[in-house]
């Protein structure tokens, strides 16, 4: 009986040590402080390579093909953000060719929060939730041409 009590005491101590281990729920992701700053749009990816500018070179990144597409997100330490994205449309013409038309800029402000793996934006239907990966934030849209697959932002 004494052996059982000793084993139970050791087992209880073991469980106590394990339950008090460092577990901040961040799973190796980004801290909110590490996200504060300016994030520039570096890629607007489409499902297949296109040659919008007619230079004979194709790319799945519309920023390589059209200069009028740009955007940025500024994350502030007070959990607010400022967002700006050039409005554009990608329209099919003939023989798997497309044209991009830019018209104005969409802007938004609001609140943001992060669990270290994704960033959630309130106040903009365009942003919603972006995934964090390395030094990038990625908005997965998932559309096939003529739609956009992803928007990729990189920290400045």
pLDDT tens digits, 87-140: 999 999 988 899 999 999 999 999 999 999 999 999 988 899 999 999 999 999
Taking 50 as the threshold, does the pLDDT of residue 13 lie above it? no
What is the pTM assigned to this prediction?
0.80
What domains are defined for the chain?
32-155 (2.40.128.300)
CA 42/CA 34 separation, integer angstroms? 19
* 76-85 pLDDT, tens digit each: 999 999 999 9
- Number of residues written out for the chain: 156
Mean pLDDT estimate for the chain: 86
What average pLDDT does this structure show over 1-17? 45
């Amino acid at each position: 009986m004494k052996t059982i009590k000793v084993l139970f005491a050791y087992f209880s101590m073991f469980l106590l040590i394990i339950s008090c281990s460092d577990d901040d729920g961040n799973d190796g992701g980004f801290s909110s402080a590490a996200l504060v700053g300016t994030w520039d749009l570096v890629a607007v990816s489409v499902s297949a390579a296109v040659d919008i500018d007619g230079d004979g070179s194709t790319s799945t990144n519309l920023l390589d093909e059209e200069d009028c597409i740009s955007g940025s997100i500024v994350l502030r330490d007070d959990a607010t953000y400022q967002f700006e994205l050039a409005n554009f449309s990608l329209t099919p013409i003939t023989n798997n060719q497309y044209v991009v038309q830019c018209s104005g800029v969409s802007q938004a402000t609001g609140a943001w929060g992060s669990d270290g793996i994704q960033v959630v934006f309130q106040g903009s239907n365009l942003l919603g939730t972006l995934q964090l990966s390395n030094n990038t934030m990625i908005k997965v849209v998932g559309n096939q041409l003529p739609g956009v697959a992803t928007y990729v932002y990189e920290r400045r």
